[in-house]
A and B are shown apart, each in its own frame.
Chain A
Amino acid sequence: MRIYFDHNATTPVHPDVAEVMVRVLREHYGNASSVHRLGQEAKAVLDEARTSVATLIGAEPSELVFTSGGTEADNLAIRGVAEALEPTGRRHLIATAIEHEAVLVTLKALARRGWRTTLLPVGLTGIVEPGALEDALTDDTAVVSVMHANNELGTVQPVAELARLAHARGALFHTDAVQSIGKLRVDARELGVDLLALSAHKFNGPKGAGALWIRRGTRLTPILTGGKHERTRRAGTENVPAIAGLGAAARLAMAKGAAEGERVAVLRDRLEEGILARVPGTVVNGAREPRVPNTTNISFERVEAESLLIALDLEGIAVSTGAACSSGTLEPSHVLRAMGLPTHRAQNSIRFSLGAGNTEEEVDYLLEKLPKAVDKLRSLTARRA
């Protein structure tokens, strides 16, 4: 039995996506910059993908820059705007304390080079207060970066309102929508943002492909320099097969529409309610609304999350504790700590994130195995105490 409840880490590639990618790998191997027919075919593949992604987020195809993924898209947005606005004297950057490392560490890097940075706090809801942004904004704020949905909690941030506040002070607004694309309907213009990052592998596309949407007219300095690819905003031969996969995943997300989100929400709620009812000493971290439909983050009192993760993995169930980092180690989540949760509760928390392949039977299997695993872990802690 292999059950995958870790879709916020990554998702399985949809078979249709894989098929498109294999076709491109085998047949359309040209360099999209080449003049000959093979090059034109590759260019056509990019065009199709660009249109599909644009349609998904209500944008113009020419506003999209393909990247290697969400991290690069976030870097391009923040570094690109910060550098472009440097001559104007806008040297202040704002983000929330619960952003992905792609944003947080980029801000730290810029802080070392002289930019001022402010991290907005969040309370126990895991949702940033617009008032906090109002207080932080100054006349020299260059860009505000707030994620659309948080990867660990699933909480949805009031991006549209925050973007209005930023614009009122002349600042640009970037949203990392990596965790909301494919889970919620996302319309870049309705959100009113200037930049939006997305990543293919979070919605059944391949790893190694993502995009940054840049509202027409937004000034941005490239971070990768070289050839005139992507309208000189991102140099480097395009990863055509992966981008084709991104386009295919975008079309699938469009086709599924809201129905898939509703289906997954029913499963997530069954899982969440089931755990709260069957396992004493459990609590959901962060606000339960507004939230993406697939995510729940639960603390298990007196249970080390890493042990519970391993116990579930040995039963064939894949979940996660907070953010997985590159070395594969398990560290207390910065998101839960930023919410003000004590370290022990952060270390007691497990994230369940559902997706396309999950079924009611899988949720019920988890609900059968999990209480036993928790009991076992607790009885051992009790004996030692």
Chain B
Amino acid sequence: MMRVVVAMSGGVDSSVAAALLAREGHEVIGLSMQLYDHSASQPRGRARSGTCCTIDDLHDARRVATRLGIPHYIMNFERQFDEQDVSNFVQEYAAGRTPIPCVHCNGDLKFATLASRAGALGAPFVATGHYARVEKDAAGLYLLKRGVDPSKDQSYFLFTLTQEQLSHAIFPVGALEKSTVRELARELGLTVSDKPDSHEICFVADGDHASFLEGHGVRAAPGAIHDISGKVLGTHEGVHHFTVGQRKGLGLSSPIRLYVVGIDADRGAVTVGPREALERTELTASRVNWIAGTPPSPGARATAQIRHRHREAAVSILPLDDGRVAARFDEPQHAVAPGQAVVFYDGEVVLGGGWID
């Protein structure tokens, strides 16, 4: 038996994670992170979908903890979350990139600040509801592996974790299918068993990125939309309305489907083109983390994902200086978006990843 802190978001996955550890006889302490205050922007009584960490979700976490008979506390991380994750999200978008705040939240909050708070409470481990697995190999190295349920695997969001962080991490639902997790939640009588999965960026109410960004100081600077040859096709209300690969909401009529293929935030220009114009066989990435601590040898073969919902593709890895990496895909890949992460896999095992330039 050991003391474990479970990061409880109020969702079904972390609730079941807590339940499983409690059932194994561990001394489980539930901690929920209050990251932002949505109470003002959330009309009461409206159906919620795809949210986490709102005030209502924190209450769900509390009710689950009561049901499990474990202590539960809410820690206020609003300031740190705002200074690190939200401001990074805003800056990246304003720069025409497509950020993934979940990765920062995992690496900088859950497995950093929260883990250190847990350690101070005498709990050497932090458990979360991520669909991923952590294992120790024969050499004593921690391996980060995909979750067993391929449709739910969240290892992509955990690529920044270090050996030190992985040594404190437990993912109790990583070895389970989502359907099993929901079934367990029902068996345990947890009220969250049928709660919808979260998909959107949690702190952006209603998925309205543009309004959120404007509320956080991003100026709506109109500019031109042009095609690859430079011909102006229309105008836009600001580059923060767009991400690379976007097809909807361009406000253009065209005989062929047009996609955003490039964003130049400095010039306020958005470039659109046909689907083929989005294809790349090479990319570079920065601030790379190799889970094992050292990069693979040049030319190493692996698979890579360039976003969460991307089907992994065969790739050759070329580690560069200054914590950077180049990747060469066997087949062209669609919509390589700056700001997203490229994560490399050897089978089920996460080798590491970095931020696409």
Query: Which A positions have Cβ atoms within 8 angstroms of B?
Result: 304, 306-307, 310-311, 313-314, 327-331, 376-377, 380-381, 384
B71 interface hit (Cβ, 8 Å): yes
Distance in Å: Cβ of A105 to nearest Cβ of chain B? 15
B165 part of interface (Cβ distance < 8 Å): no
Docked complex Cα distance between A376 and B117 (Å): 10
The interface residues of chain A lying within 8 Å CB-to-CB of B76 are 306, 329-331
B121–A328 touching, CB < 8 Å:
no
Given A328-B74, A330-B74, A304–B29 Cβ distance below 8 Å? no
Tell me whether A307 and B121 are in contact (CB under 8 A): yes
Q: Which A residue sits closest to B31, measured CB to CB?
A: A310
CB distance B75 to A330 under 8 Å?
yes
List B residues 89-145 near A (Cβ within 8 Å).
116-117, 119-122
**A304 touching B62 by the CB < 8 A rule?**
no
Q: Are A380 and B29 in contact (CB under 8 A)?
A: no
Question: In the complex, how many angstroms separate the beta carbon of A303 from the nearest chain B beta carbon?
Answer: 9
Q: In the bound complex, do residue B74 and residue A310 qualify as a contact, i.e. CB atoms below 8 Å apart?
A: no
B74 touches A380 (CB 8 A): no
A327/B120 in contact, CB under 8 A: no
Q: For this complex, into which size category does the number of interface residues on chain B fall?
A: 10 to 19
Ranked nearest first, the 5 interchain pairs of A and B with the lowest CB-CB distance are A377-B120, A380-B120, A329-B74, A310-B73, A329-B34
Asked whether B117 lies within 8 Å of A307 as measured between CB atoms, the reply is: yes
Q: Is A380 in contact with B116, judged by CB distance below 8 angstroms?
A: yes
A329 partner residues in chain B, CB cutoff 8 A: 34, 58, 74, 76
Report which of B34, B55, B116, B120 forms a contact with A311, defined as CB distance below 8 A.
B120
Given contacts A306-B75, A310-B29, A381-B116, 13 further A-B contacts (CB under 8 A): A306-B73, A307-B75, A310-B73, A311-B122, A313-B71, A314-B29, A314-B71, A327-B59, A328-B62, A329-B58, A329-B74, A329-B76, A330-B75
Taking the closest CB of chain B, its distance from the CB of A192, in whole angstroms, is 41
**Distance A377 CA – B121 CA, assembled complex (angstroms):** 8
Instruction: Give CA–CA (A162, B139) in the complex, Å.
Output: 73
B59, B62, B76, B122: most-surrounded residue (chain A CB, <10 A): B76
18 contacts between A and B (CB under 8 A): A304-B117, A307-B75, A307-B120, A307-B121, A310-B73, A310-B121, A311-B121, A311-B122, A313-B73, A314-B29, A327-B55, A327-B58, A327-B74, A329-B58, A330-B75, A331-B76, A376-B122, A381-B116
A97: shortest Cβ distance to chain B, in Å?
Answer: 21
Residue-wise, chain B 16-55 has the 8 Å CB interface mask toward A (1 for contact) of 0000000000000100001000000000000000000001
Distance A381 CA – B113 CA, assembled complex (angstroms): 10
How far, in Å, is B107 (CB) from chain A's closest CB? 14
CB distance from A358 to the nearest CB of B (A): 22
Query: A304–B58 Cα gap in the complex (Å)?
Result: 21
Report the Cα distance A207→B221, complex, angstroms. 55
Q: Are B120 and A376 in contact (CB under 8 A)?
A: yes
Alpha-carbon separation in the docked complex, A77 to B227 (Å): 68
- In the complex, chain B residues whose CB is within 8 Å of the CB of A307: 75, 117, 120-121
Whether A380 lies near B55 (C-beta < 8 A) is no
Nearest CB of A to B95, in Å: 30
Residues of A within 8 A of B73 (CB): 306, 310, 313
Q: How far is the CA of A314 from the CA of B29 in the complex (A)?
A: 9
A384 to chain B, nearest CB (A): 6
The chain A residue sitting closest to B113, CB to CB, is: A384
Query: Which residues of chain B have C-beta atoms less than 8 A from A380's C-beta?
Result: 116, 119-120
CB distance from B119 to the nearest CB of A (A): 5
Q: Which of chain A's residues has its CB closest to B62's CB?
A: A328
Q: How far, in whole Å, are A331 and B122 apart by their CA atoms in the complex? A: 23
Closest B residue to A375 by beta carbon equals B120
A380 to B120, CA, bound (A): 6
Nearest Cβ on chain B to A220's Cβ, whole angstroms:
33
- Min CB distance, A300 to chain B, in Å? 12
Distance between Cα atoms of A314 and B121 in the complex (Å): 8
Which residues of the partner chain B approach A376 to less than 8 Å between Cβ atoms?
A: 120, 122
Min Cβ gap A344→B in Å is 11
Interfacial chain A residues near B119, Cβ < 8 Å: 380
Report Cα–Cα, A318/B41, bound state, in Å: 34
What CA separation (Å) do A311 and B34 show in the bound complex? 19
Q: Shortest Cβ distance from B30 into chain A, in angstroms? A: 11
The interface residues of chain B lying within 8 Å CB-to-CB of A313 are 71, 73
| Least distance between A325 CB and chain B CB atoms (Å) | 10
> Could you tell me the distance between the alpha carbons of A331 and B29 in the complex, rounded to whole angstroms?
20
The contact string, 1 if C-beta is below 8 Å from chain A, for chain B 201-225, is 0000000000000000000000000
Residue ID in chain A nearest B117 by CB atoms: A307
* A163 smallest CB distance to B (angstroms): 37
Q: Which chain A positions have C-beta within 8 A of B59? A: 327
* A328 CA / B71 CA spacing, docked (Å): 13
Which A residues touch B29, using CB under 8 A?
A: 310, 314
Least CB distance, A151 to chain B, in whole angstroms:
20
**Nearest B residue to A310, CB-CB:** B73
- A307, B115: Cα distance in complex, Å: 12
Contacts of B62 in A (CB 8 A): 328
Shortest Cβ distance from A299 into chain B, in angstroms?
Answer: 17
- Kindly provide the distance from the CB of B319 to the nearest chain A CB, expressed in whole angstroms: 29
Please name all residues of chain A whose beta carbon is closer than 8 Å to the beta carbon of B122 when the two chains form the complex: 311, 314, 376
Name which of B34, B71, B73, B75 has the most chain A CB atoms within 10 A of its CB.
Answer: B73
Please name the residue on chain A nearest to B74 by beta carbon: A329
**CA separation between A311 and B120, bound complex, in Å?**
8
Roughly how many angstroms separate A328 CA and B120 CA in the complex, as a whole number?
Answer: 21
A311 to B117 Cα, complex, angstroms: 10
Q: How far does the Cβ of A210 sit from chain B's closest Cβ, in whole Å?
A: 27
Complex Cα–Cα for A330 and B78 (A): 11
